[in-house]
Structure 1
Amino acid sequence: MADGALRPWNWEDPQELAATVDRFTEDLARVEKLSLELSAAVLDRSHFDRLGLTGIEFAAFKTRHPQALGTDLVSLIAADGARTGPGQVYRIDDAAYFAEMDITGTLPVADDTVDWVYAEHLIEHVTLHAGIAWLTEVRRILRPGGLLRLTTPDLRVYAESYVNDDGFFGKHRRRMNRALSGVAPAMPERGAFMFNQLFYVYGHRWLYDLEELRHALTSAGFAEDAIAVRAFREGARPDVAELDQVLRNDETIYVEAVA
């Protein structure tokens, strides 16, 4: 991406910023090489076994897990102009597998197919109704005893920081400024801005604390006693927990649920 390609960037105009983020996402969706591996309207266990896959990472153009299928709503575009399409699984740059999936609809995966599912900072981008419907689909495609690891910004962290002025906003702002240095201007320092951006920036639609996540998960059919709070990169499956990204771990709640 050329320097300044994301400018203008106005933190205080969520609608304009959304268009900027869309352009950024389009850039991330560009890859060097696409290789079609298989076509199937519905993926089942035999497809996963054939490719040596055990789980799905949602909202991942190129998953880092060697046995994961990365998925996203956005099509990937190769250097030669080839692009992904629904109902197909691709090898991306000879490094990872990818298939287009829309979490607001029925997932193109058979019942009891995968051992695990991972989704980082995804569920907050859809409505509560859509989030519960997606979690219901996740539970359907997990094998009995399969694991879901779900991460999302913790509303309680933001609310407590706003009320108590505990220093979190300043630390998080500095972290984000370092990550976006040369790409975006500094985030405003005001507490009200830091609280509001969680709701109105990034395309967020519904925010969660632990109680709200438990509501969504139990509404989707996960048992209350099958839900556990985890720490950053700690969980029942270390290989899945290792997918946690460092950048936003200060604001994130980590939850696992067993099907």
Structure 2
Amino acid sequence: MNAFSAAETTLRTVLHVGCGIANPAKLPAAFFNPGDWREIRLDIDPEVQPDIVGTITDMADVPNASVDAVWSSHNVEHLYAHEVPAAFAEFRRVLKPGGFALIAVPDLQQVAGLIAEDRLGDAAYLSSMGPITPLDILYGHRPSIAQGNAFMAHRTGFTARTLQACLEEAGFPVVNVLRDGSFALWAAAYV
């Protein structure tokens, strides 16, 4: 039995791509009330025990128009720039009509401000993994990479304008991008 062969339910389905280790708190409650949503977890790393092992550039195990939402928190930047269109096309492919993708990525324009102030190695903010510097935001969490987790490397980045353009080019007719003030961009892309 796979994640999509479960009995019909009144719950909407969110495909949590790049999910990492299971933790229901990773779904933003403002968008995914636990009483309304069923989470299906997809990750490239089998060590995190996702429902589906796979990459966001080829989600062949996820049927067309099968989910109500796609949640992608800080993983699109781990792709190479030429892979981003394929990932966004996959997000659009798996969404049901009326569905949406919610995507969070680092805000390189805001990070550039810290770099211009010569604060490359200073903590921009604290995360559960410890202090995060502009260098980590640009290239990936250095302590994780140093411990052998190459999945944590960043290979591309976005400003609000470029993120919106990439989503529109992938065929999302309505895209809203917001800067959260905490070094992240949030995009809501609707089918």
**What TM-score do the two structures reach when normalised by structure 2?**
0.73
Q: Retained in 1: the 8 A contact 2:164–2:176?
A: no
CA-to-aligned-CA distance 1:11-45 (integer Å, 9 cap, x gap): xxxxxxxxxxxxxxxxxxxxxxxxxxx148xx4xx
What is the letter of the counterpart of residue 62 of structure 1?
A
Give the secondary-structure state (helix, strand or coil) at the position aligned to 1:49: coil
CA positional deviation for 1:167: 8.1
Cα pair 1:152 1:254 within 8 Å, conserved: yes
- Once the two structures are TM-superposed, the CA of residue 144 in structure 1 deviates from its matched residue by 1.0
- CA pair 162-144 structure 1, distance change in 2 beyond 3 A: same
Could you tell me which residue of structure 2 aligns to residue 152 of structure 1? 105
Q: CA deviation at 1:160?
A: 2.0
What is the CA–CA distance in structure 1 between the aligned matches of 2:6 and 2:183, rounded to whole Å? 36
> Which of residues 161, 175, 187 is equivalent to 1:227?
175
- Among 7, 14, 19, the alignment partner of 1:55 is 14
1:172 is the counterpart of 2:131? no
Any conservation in 2 of the 1:57–1:63 contact (CA below 8 Å)? no
**Does the C-alpha gap of structure 1 residues 63 and 131 become closer, same or farther in structure 2, counting only changes over 3 Å?**
farther
Deviations along 1:55-112, one digit per CA (max 9) or x if unpaired, are 11111131415411111111147xxxxxx6xxxxx7xxxxxxx222222324311211
In structure 1, the partner of 2:189 is 257
Shift of 1:114: 0.7
Hey, what does 2:82 align to over in structure 1? 129
CA 1:99 to 1:130, structure 2 compared with 1: closer, same or farther past 3 Å?
same
- Map residues 34-49 of structure 1 onto 2, 5 A cutoff: 38-39=1-2, 43=4, 47=6, 49=8
The size of the alignment, in residue pairs, is 168
Q: Is the 8 A contact 1:48 1:54 kept in 2?
A: no
The SS at the match of 2:46 is coil
- Structure holding more strand per residue: 2
**Cα distance in 2 for residues equivalent to 1:134 and 1:218:** 13
Shift of 1:166: 10
Question: Which structure would you say has the larger Rg?
Answer: 1
What are the ranges of 5 or more consecutive residues in structure 1 without an aligned counterpart?
1-37, 78-83, 85-89, 91-97, 188-193, 233-248
RMSD across aligned C-alpha pairs, in angstroms? 3.1
**What is the alpha-carbon distance in structure 1 between the residues aligned to residue 119 and residue 23 of structure 2?**
33
Q: In structure 2, what residue type is equivalent to 1:172?
A: A
Query: Aligned pair 1:200/2:171, yes or no?
Result: no
CA distance in 2, matches of 1:138, 1:213: 14
Deviation per residue, 1:189-214 (Å, 9 max, x gap): xxxxx544433333000011111101
- Please state how far the C-alpha of 1:256 moved relative to its aligned partner: 0.5
- State whether residues 123 and 134 of structure 2, in contact with CA within 8 Å, keep that contact through their aligned partners in structure 1: no
Residue type of the alignment partner of 2:106: P
User: In percent, how many aligned pairs have the same letter?
Assistant: 23
Q: Contact between 2:120 and 2:134, CA under 8 Å: does it hold in 1? A: no
Structure 1: distance between partners of 2:115 and 2:169? 30
